[in-house]
Amino acid sequence: MQDDRLKIYELMKEKTGRPLSIEELHAALGVHEEDKEGFSAQIREMLGDGLIIKTRSGRYGLASKMHLVVGELSCHPDGFGFVCPREGEGDDVFVNSRRLSGAMHGDTVVARVESERRGKREGGVIRILKRAHKTIVGRFALEKGFGVVIPSSERLLDRFVIPPEDSKDARHGMIVSAQIVKWPEKNSLGIGRITDVIGAPDDADVEAEVILRKYGLPSRFPADVMEEIRDCPASVAEAEASGRVDLRGKTTFTIDGETAKDFDDAVSIDALPNGYRLRVSIADVSHYVSEGTKLDAEAYARSTSVYFPDRCVPMLPEALSNGICSLNPREDRLTLTAEMEFDDAGRPTGKRLYESVIRSCERLTYTKVKSLLSGEDPELSERHKDILSDLRLMEALAALLCARRQEAGSIDFDLPEPQIIIDIEGKVEDIVRSERNVAHRLIEEFMLAANRAVAEEFSGTKLPFLYRVHDEPDAESVEEFAEFAAGLDLTFKPGGGPKAFQRMLASVAGAPEERLINHVLLRSMRQAVYSDVNIGHFGLAFDDYAHFTSPIRRYPDLVVHRLVRLLINGRYGRQEQDRHAAQLASVASHTSGRERKAMEAEREVVDLKKAQFMRDKTGEVFEGFISGVTSFGLFVELKDYFVEGLIHISALGDDYYIYDEKRHCLVGEHTKKRFRLGDAATVRIAKVDIERRRIDLELEGTAPRQRPAGKGGGRRDRGKARPQPKKTEVKADAGKKPGGKARRGRRRKRSGTPK
């Protein structure tokens, strides 16, 4: 927040008891005549961001002092929504379908709180501050003589009328993209103009394109960006290497997945008399992507690369991501290096950050490193004998770092994840359990160490910086988990910090309830975000943490690189400090939001691929276990394929079932039969809906009752979506991108501590 905005906000928050006119604000803050135009611009910005509200009488005040809530509207397919305020500004506000006032999912709105029932706030939308969508993607349909677009996203509740002259000759049933000409209002539909006919709904590539557009993920770079990088160098000139620490004589290599093409981190190690010297060298993307350029603006807009099973939507064009910024073997590359020293117990004894130039001697894969360390392939060991001793040193150091991290209380969820194998024609060939071996853990520990070292360098200086933070779980979630654990005869004592969670996971390791506890505990965690305020990282048990190791695919890492270069070159003076202090909060908010969008898109594409894979398996029977329990049914994960489907509550034909939220189970009203998270289940594939990415299941041997009208029953709690696991980051947040196996299969980001 800029200084003037902060002064205005603090004035309204602490020193006034009522909304103020613009003249009263001028007087209170001593705004001179020549500064009034700039001051008004600041007021308009704050109105747009929802920091302040303008009343009907033209005065300005804080929403929280007027029983108003500013936040993002999250809509549910059943028609209602919740206004989610900023962190620390109270609970969500429930809005029924009649009170949405034309607001759409994702819009920033002002809601008036009108009642409170059992501690839950309810109200209605009174103003729309910012529209989240300028275009929609959906199915074109002819209804009663006129055309409409039915959005593909179930959370976009309104259909859009398409005038005949704006239909681009789209046929009934085709998937289209439409520009919004007029947004929906309280009692009228929105109006759109078709800009692109994408294709038939049953085309697999069309479905993936729909998801890309739905989440605003551009598949192509703008022409002006491509023109700007037209002369991007293919190699490092010797003049560029001048003045950098020359590491080209050091044994340095990359370790990534089999299908990875962009290598942004390389490692090297030395044995010291009483310990180790580890160098983590990261591609110096900031050397090639300058602030203020079109390339930088596009990278900021994207904020992250997005990984699908069959493709990648990169943050940077290929000339950089796979070219000059990729640490390709036997080619000179510019890097930033975090050099860290550890004693023989893994305790850090020193660190240094510097600009460097490296030449990777080898591009290794996780599978190769695992084989080399196990000695299972003598021929491979002979071929790489020059680096084998370095790998063994790294293995020893990684084990020490892991032990120290766990001793401090770092939480490590280790839930299996699917790896989708795509054949040469782009079809799903198989869905298997992704492998995580010693090589993954080795790299994860080194990336964590480098990220932590960089954050520590800044936290001690109090300079403006972009941290990766993870707040502790809220007390209510922890208490609910403790009650759930008690129902399993397990003891969990809240208040013990991350170590309490770690002890719980250790107590069930190898036990039948291990997977169940991992799932429920993971869902009690908050999501990690970027922030200019350092509150530490609860899940990792780190006081200081940042993202430094993946600037090719994450914009926050690029920002951190720029700050590191300012620091090590002695250029982080007062002017730069003021500039970054004003910008970093906005960067943190934007990039955190884009990260969430990318995760949602990745999850939806994976669900699409799973549905496509299961389409021809209708009627087949599979073993599985209950992976989610909601008021409207049971989610069951199949053991063979890591695919999840829903048994709707109406398909449980032997009784009426009541949802016990605290114990995560459904209980039969008369039979007292209980379905609980983690229970085994034998299911039959009843239906596969590609468009909704949904697999409907039935318990083998049961006859479903007639399903009631509506998508989840009529009650408000029935409509709640199944809680999604919050992505975790001992592994994903270590900085490595997804790896993969042969045949274009790509491994998704792993789980660890909450992301």
Among residues 584, 559, 575, the alpha carbon closest in space to that of 2 is found at 584
Q: In the prediction, which pLDDT does 712 show?
A: 40
User: What is the side-by-side strand order in the sheet with 657-660?
Assistant: 657-660, 665-668, 674-676
- Residues with Cβ within 8 Å of 519's Cβ and at least 6 positions away in sequence, in order, are 415, 627, 628, 677, 678, 725
Strand partners for 276: 271, 342
E strand or H helix that includes residue 432: strand 428-433
Query: In this structure, what are the phi and psi dihedrals at residue 116, rounded to the nearest 5 degrees?
Result: -140, 120
Q: In the prediction, which pLDDT does 733 show?
A: 67
Q: In the prediction, which pLDDT does 20 show?
A: 80
Q: Would you state the structure tokens that stand for residue 24, as one six-digit string? A: 């009263």
Strand 135-143 relative to strand 665-668, pairing: unpaired
Question: Which residue shows structure tokens 């109105």?
Answer: 47
Q: In the prediction, which pLDDT does 697 show?
A: 95
- Residues with Cβ within 8 Å of 317's Cβ and at least 6 positions away in sequence, in order, are 221, 225, 226, 229, 295
Question: Which residue shows structure tokens 């927040």?
Answer: 1
Q: In the prediction, which pLDDT does 223 show?
A: 95
Query: E strands of 13-107, at which residues?
Result: 53-54, 60-61, 68-75, 81-85, 93-95
Average pLDDT per consecutive 10 residues, the chain (755 residues; last block may be shorter): 64 71 82 84 77 78 77 91 80 91 91 83 89 91 88 90 92 93 89 93 78 84 95 93 96 92 94 97 97 96 91 93 95 98 97 97 95 93 94 97 94 79 82 87 97 95 94 88 84 85 87 80 89 95 97 98 97 94 92 92 89 92 89 89 90 88 86 88 92 88 47 36 44 54 35 40
Q: Would you state the structure tokens that stand for residue 379, as one six-digit string? A: 């021929």
Q: In the prediction, which pLDDT does 558 show?
A: 98
Which three-class secondary structure state does DSSP give residue 691? coil
Predicted TM-score of the model (pTM): 0.82
Among residues 285, 195, 156, the alpha carbon closest in space to that of 232 is found at 285
Residue 341: what residue type? E
Q: Interhelix angle for 438-459 vs 555-568, to 10°?
A: 50
Q: In the prediction, which pLDDT does 753 show?
A: 41
